[in-house]
Amino acid sequence: MACSDKAEHKKWGTGTIVSVKGEGENQELDIAFPNEGIKRLVAKFAPITKV
pLDDT in tens, 3-51: 999 999 999 999 999 999 999 878 999 999 999 999 999 999 999 999 9
Quick one: CA torsion of 44, 46, 50, 51, rounded to 10 degrees? 170
pTM above 0.85, yes or no: yes
Residue 21: beta bridge partners? 28
Q: How many residues does the chain have?
A: 51
Q: What type of residue is 51?
A: V
